[in-house]
């Protein structure tokens, strides 16, 4: 065991500064990843997402779902959601990535991209309901897609491919200094399921 660094040696920070992003590669075997992919497609309560952008309500083609330890309320893109209770598969995956990362998570936002036509625009996940500088663990199943980071000041970009059964972790001040996105692409016509495990905190209590 390395007493000075609890991360496996193969992990390096993909960002040159102002944040930490570690790509663990495939953390789930191909056969388990296939099983989780099919199971998540069918067992999750997928809904089209609603966002309010420039005062207009937009219904996304991408589907989303939100699960957690309790009925948290979570606000993003000007809409408020309430978490559903964990399914067995989600709890198994949460345990797996908690062990891989030595972090803990209390909720998961899931995204279903039906094909490469669907993506997610530049954003950061520093919403007020999230633990400040908390880790976000992102598991991917299904189609491989490109994922990119852009520094908010320098506009420098970094990108990588998120593989079937892979884990990406963003932590430290990443959300304050970098945007990320899942670019749409004509090259992909299969679905991808993404799970982002997060830590929600009740900021209304501490700030009262």
Ligand X SMILES: O=C(O)CCC(=O)C(=O)O
Q: CA-CA distance, 141 to 22, in Å (whole number)?
A: 18
Are 98 and 167 spatial neighbours (Cβ–Cβ below 8 Å)? no
Q: Which of 24, 74, 141, 147 binds ligand X (CB under 6 A)?
A: 147
- 60, 63, 64, 89, 106 from 111: Cα distances, Å: 11, 6, 5, 15, 17
125 interacts with Fe ion by CB under 5 A: yes
Judged by CB, which is closer to ligand X: 86, or 122?
122
Q: Hey, CA dihedral for 85, 175, 13, 142, is it positive or negative?
A: positive
175 interacts with ligand X by CB under 6 A: no
Site string for ligand X, 95-124 (x = CB under 6 A): --------------x-x--------x----
Are 141 and 206 spatial neighbours (Cβ–Cβ below 8 Å)? no
Q: Which residue is nearest to ligand X (CB)?
A: 194
- Residue 179: CB minimum distance to ligand X, A: 10
**Residue 19 per-residue DSSP state:** S
- Residue 205: CB minimum distance to ligand X, A: 24
141 interacts with ligand X by CB under 6 A: no
- Residue 35: CB minimum distance to ligand X, A: 20
């Amino acid at each position: 065991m390395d007493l000075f660094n609890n991360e496996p040696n193969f992990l390096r920070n993909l960002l040159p500064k102002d944040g930490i992003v570690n790509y663990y590669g495939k953390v789930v075997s191909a056969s388990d990843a296939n099983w989780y992919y099919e199971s998540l497609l069918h067992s999750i309560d997928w809904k089209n997402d609603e966002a309010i952008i420039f005062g207009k309500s937009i219904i996304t083609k991408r589907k989303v779902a939100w699960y957690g330890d309790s009925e948290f309320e979570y606000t993003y893109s000007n809409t408020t959601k309430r978490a559903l209770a964990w399914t067995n598969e989600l709890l198994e995956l949460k345990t797996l990535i908690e062990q891989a990362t030595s972090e803990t998570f209390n909720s998961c936002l899931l995204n279903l991209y039906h094909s490469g036509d669907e993506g997610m625009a530049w954003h950061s996940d520093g919403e007020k309901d999230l633990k400040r500088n908390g880790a976000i663990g992102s598991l991917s199943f299904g189609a491989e897609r490109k994922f990119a980071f852009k520094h908010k000041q320098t506009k420098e970009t970094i990108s990588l491919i998120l593989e079937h059964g892979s884990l990406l972790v963003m932590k430290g001040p990443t959300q304050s200094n970098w945007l990320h996105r899942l670019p749409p692409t004509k090259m992909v016509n299969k679905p991808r399921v993404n799970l982002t495990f997060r830590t929600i905190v009740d900021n209304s209590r501490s700030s009262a």
